[in-house]
Structure 1
Amino acid sequence: MLRSFLIGLVAGQRGMTPLAVVATATHREEISADLPLQKLMLSAVIAAGTVALAAAEMAGDKMKTAPDRTVPVGLAVRSITAAYAGAALAPRDKRVLGAAIAVGTALASSYVGLAARKWAMRRHGQTATGFVEDAIVLGSGMAIASPSLVTAKG
């Protein structure tokens, strides 16, 4: 259930990243494609499409007109992607609980993350803080969904 909690933290900061990292992990066959529509993620085109959506969100975050992550549509997207990713990363018999944990974590961390980002932006600006946040979110998301990418072989 730890992975569901952690992916909720990721979702709270970037709504599309959980879907992209789950699609990547599914495509790499690191997690099973048991959920509805998850078999589609075995396709390189679909997996790449989710990554493109996450990249577009990250690029849009640097724009002055970007809305706060806590606007209703932002919270809705975070809830949906967190639920899906939380369920995908949970043990098979605890998928509903994994989804619930991820959604709760995503909603709470959206507000905490926004406050932290606004504080950092006063000192370092929107673009610089956005790139740092992106690196943390993407790296964390990949490590959570695809642990083999960060474990030593040898």
Structure 2
Amino acid sequence: MIRSFLIGIVAGQRGITPLAAIATATRHGDIPADLPFQNLLLNPVIAAGTAAFAAAEMAGDKMKSAPDRIVPIGLAVRSVTAAYAGAALAPRDQRVLGAAIAVAAVLASSYAGWRLRCAAMTRYGQTATGFVEDALVLGSGLAIASRR
């Protein structure tokens, strides 16, 4: 269940990255394609689409007009993607619990990450802190979803 918790933390920082990480892990055979719609992630076009959406979210984060991660719609999207990823990473008989753990983690980490990012932005700016956060989130998401 630690992987479900950790992917929830990732989703708290970038909402689409967990789907891209699950797509990558599914295509590499690191996690079974047992969940509804997970077989779609085996399709290279769909998998590339998740990566493209994750990249677009990361690019959008650097814009001055980017909304805070704690706005209600942002929290809703993060909760949905975290629940799906948390369930995919949980043992088969504990998928509901894995989803719940991921959602709890996403809600807490969204607020914590927002506060940390705001503090860092005052010193280093939006773009630099965003790139550092992107690197941490992407690397962590892929590592969490991968068995290797």
Q: Shorter-normalised TM-score: what interval?
A: over 0.9
Deviations 1:49-76 (CA, angstroms, capped at 9, x unpaired): 0000000000000000000000011000
1:125-136, aligned counterparts within 5 Å?
Answer: 125-136=125-136
Give the structure 1 partner of residue 54 of structure 2: 54
Unaligned runs of 5+ in 2: none
Aligned residues: 148
Length-normalised TM-score, structure 2: 0.99
User: Structure 2: which amino acid aligns with 1:14?
Assistant: R
Which residue in the other structure is 1:18 paired with? Answer: 18
* Cα distance between partner residues in 2 of 1:28 and 1:45: 15
Measure the CA separation in 2 of the matches of 1:49 and 1:28: 16
Structure 1 residue 12: deviation in Å?
0.2
What is the match of residue 104 of structure 1?
104
Aligned position for 1:145: 145
> Which residue of 2 is the match for residue 151 of structure 1?
none
**CA distances 1:63-93 after superposition (whole Å, capped 9, x unpaired):** 0000000001100000000000000000000
Query: What are the residue-to-residue correspondences of 1:39-78 with 2, within 5 Å?
Result: 39-78=39-78
Aligned to 2:31: 31
Unaligned runs of 5+ in 1: 149-154
SS in structure 1 at match of 2:49: helix
Give the SS at the match of 2:82: helix
Which stretches of structure 1, 4 residues or longer, exceed 2 Å deviation after superposition?
A: none
Distance 1:56 1:73 in 2: 17
Cα shift at 1:147:
3.4
Name the SS of the counterpart of 1:67 in structure 2.
coil
- State the structure with bigger RCO (CA 8 A, min sep 6), 1 or 2: 2
